[in-house]
Structure 1
Amino acid sequence: METPVTFIIFKRPETTEKVFQVIRQVKPIKLFVIADGPRTDREDEAERCETTRSVIDRVDWDCEVIKNYSDINLGCAKRVSSGLDWVFSNVEETIILEDDCIPHPSFFRFGEELLNKYRNDTRISTISAQNVQSGQRRTNYSYYFSRYSHCWGWATWRRAWQYYDLSIKLWKEVQTENLLHDILIDPKAVNYWRRTFQSVYDNPTGITWDYQWTFACWMQGSLSIIPNVNLVSNIGVGADATHFTSNQKFSFINIPTQAMEFPLKHPPYIVRNVEADIFTQKTVYKATALDIFKEEVKKILNHSKIQN
């Protein structure tokens, strides 16, 4: 596969190995690897980071492996954003995977073909692997267009990433001009994203980087491509997860994957699927940010108790 693949890893060798084996099937000729460093107050984390990195040393196909490993812990927000800045200083486009997102092998061909097709079309910012429509097929084509940029397996271009801003400096102006209403229309969605972006603005280097990506895409009025079948499964739920320590509230985690059929059937128009987006807002984004925050606070408090 000619398209570069970017692999974001940290401290979970078990899940990293599973994603690596799928990457190994498609044999990209260039592999970028972004790794965060261990936290000094976490027992055995340095060893787990090293074990995770050792998975990458087993590349056994003709591949240029380019590593960006941090010696210190930057945290999820800084590490992912700075790592992708580095990737896009080297290449124009890439397919991106995290260490707990197992793609269907057909996602790589899907991503590569659409990166080529929409390379110069600034209306499109993201090609996603994830479909959260609970089996509902929203189109007779291979994919549809959405305002939501799912990042559990995705692809994009330097031309789109250039607008990414970890601190979302534009937020105050967006809030003053009430631009979220122009984008979202629905008052409940507006209130949800207003709270979300305000929390990011108040703590931009916290636990998330992807809401900032959504913000960047919306500020450019761009759309995402969503496959008509789900092409990725997140297996990252667990005690050592960064965000999701349980899956009780998150029905969109660990969804089974299906193969994409080829040749792709391209829509003859670029129009957002409103029905699909309403479903996504009601299911995925009804309380996700708040629940993630609660999960993170719970982990911090539990770790504090153990340390004391």
Structure 2
Amino acid sequence: MFDVPILVIAYNRVEFTHDLFTEIRKMHPTKLYVAADAAPSEERIMARQCLKVRSVFMPEWPCELNEMHLEKHLGKSQIFLQAMNWFFERETEGIVLFDDTLPSASFFHYCKEMLDHFRDDRRIGHISGCNILKYRDLPTSYYFSAYPCPWGFATWRDRWQGFDLKMRGITESTLPELTKEHYILKNKTVQFWIRRYRLLSQQQIDIWEYQYIFHLWQMGMLSVNPDMNLVENRGFVNKKKRRLRKLNRPIGKLDHIVHNEVVEQDAKADRFIFRRYFRMDRMTFLRRWIEENILND
């Protein structure tokens, strides 16, 4: 039995959700939480898919199943916020997965050990399961980053507390200082994050990952990122997402975890992550916004 609580945030991907539950079933978790968004009222076909997704979660082993089934469509940011708050009202730590992710068995054991290892270290706010970098054969099993990967992760209640989609406590004038504290020194990079802040503040984009990054920066926390990829993002199979699909690295097997003795951000890795994942021209950003907010809503 696996004693770390698991939260699944789901929507309408029936096949993907079934495959995800198959991997979860192998671990026999003692506690499973499922937060499922509803379809928009006018989408009858999608509503049937949402119902099918909810029927996937039927544990055949001793498991406490907790479900939050939304009756009205919230969208990605709001379902994420409500699901996380609901989960951490009941648990002090846990694993979070989305219906379009597929974790390896190593992912679960890695999360369990990292949660235990960094439980009392408030410098760490997030345990990433994915790695978009090429395998670098580090002497340790992970590195520290200012960029948390959200595809599949683990965290604690006390690190989640204070997350705010409205970003109260952060202003355009204070954001440059937050970026500099994380070795984000180039003016173009700072301006990128200021522009994202403006778009979020003006509600022109709905990408909760940006607010989550700002939250960790505001709290002075880093992410633990594995040296090899442990979670596949299956949402990238869409042909319209060729650029993002390239970020999916082959899933590795982590047999033994070698810990870092020093908690220090890998600034070189973060510069590469920014160039590879975040930096893009305006047309590429527009395409990504359409994919994230319209095609995948």
TM-score of the aligned structures, taking structure 1 as reference length = 0.89
SS of residue paired to 1:14: helix
2:240 to 215, 238, 246: 246
**CA displacement at 1:254 relative to structure 2:** 3.6
Deviates more, 1:91-100 or 1:190-199: 190-199
**CA displacement at 1:106 relative to structure 2:** 0.8
Structure 1 residues 169 and 112: alpha-carbon distance in aligned structure 2, compared to 1, 3 A threshold: same
**CA displacement at 1:43 relative to structure 2:** 3.7
Q: Distance in 1 between matches of 2:263 and 2:174?
A: 30
- Equivalent residue pairs, number: 291
Identity %, equivalent residues: 31
Q: Distance in 2 between matches of 1:202 and 1:170?
A: 16
**CA displacement at 1:196 relative to structure 2:** 1.2
Q: Is 1:26 aligned to residue 27 of structure 2?
A: yes
Q: Distance in 1 between matches of 2:227 and 2:246?
A: 15
**CA displacement at 1:96 relative to structure 2:** 0.5
Structure 1 residues 67 and 285: alpha-carbon distance in aligned structure 2, compared to 1, 3 A threshold: same
**Equivalences for 1:120-139 in 2 at 5 Å?**
120-137=120-137, 139=138
**CA displacement at 1:20 relative to structure 2:** 0.7
- Structure 2 contact 125–216 (Cα < 8 Å) conserved: yes
Letter in 2 for 1:33: V
Measured against aligned partners, the alpha-carbon deviations of 1:203-246 in whole angstroms (never above 9, x if no partner) come to 18x5322211111000011110000110011111366xxxxx62
Where structure 2 has 5 or more consecutive residues not aligned to the other structure, the ranges are none
**CA displacement at 1:42 relative to structure 2:** 2.0
**Equivalences for 1:27-176 in 2 at 5 Å?**
27-56=28-57, 58-137=58-137, 139-172=138-171, 174-176=172-174
Letter in 2 for 1:179: E
Equivalent residue, structure 1, for 2:272: 279
**CA displacement at 1:265 relative to structure 2:** 0.7
Letter in 1 for 2:77: A
Q: Distance in 2 between matches of 1:126 and 1:280?
A: 16
Measured against aligned partners, the alpha-carbon deviations of 1:160-217 in whole angstroms (never above 9, x if no partner) come to 0002101112232x5256324523112121111111122112218x532221111100
Where structure 1 has 5 or more consecutive residues not aligned to the other structure, the ranges are 240-244, 304-308
Q: Distance in 2 between matches of 1:90 and 1:166?
A: 21
- Structure 2 contact 178–218 (Cα < 8 Å) conserved: no
**Equivalences for 1:131-280 in 2 at 5 Å?**
131-137=131-137, 139-172=138-171, 174-176=172-174, 178-183=176-181, 184-203=184-203, 207-237=206-236, 246-262=240-256, 264-280=257-273
Measured against aligned partners, the alpha-carbon deviations of 1:29-65 in whole angstroms (never above 9, x if no partner) come to 0001111011112240110000011101x21111100
Q: Distance in 1 between matches of 2:194 and 2:252?
A: 34
Q: Is 1:295 aligned to residue 295 of structure 2?
A: no
Deviates more, 1:42-51 or 1:87-96: 42-51
SS of residue paired to 1:66: strand
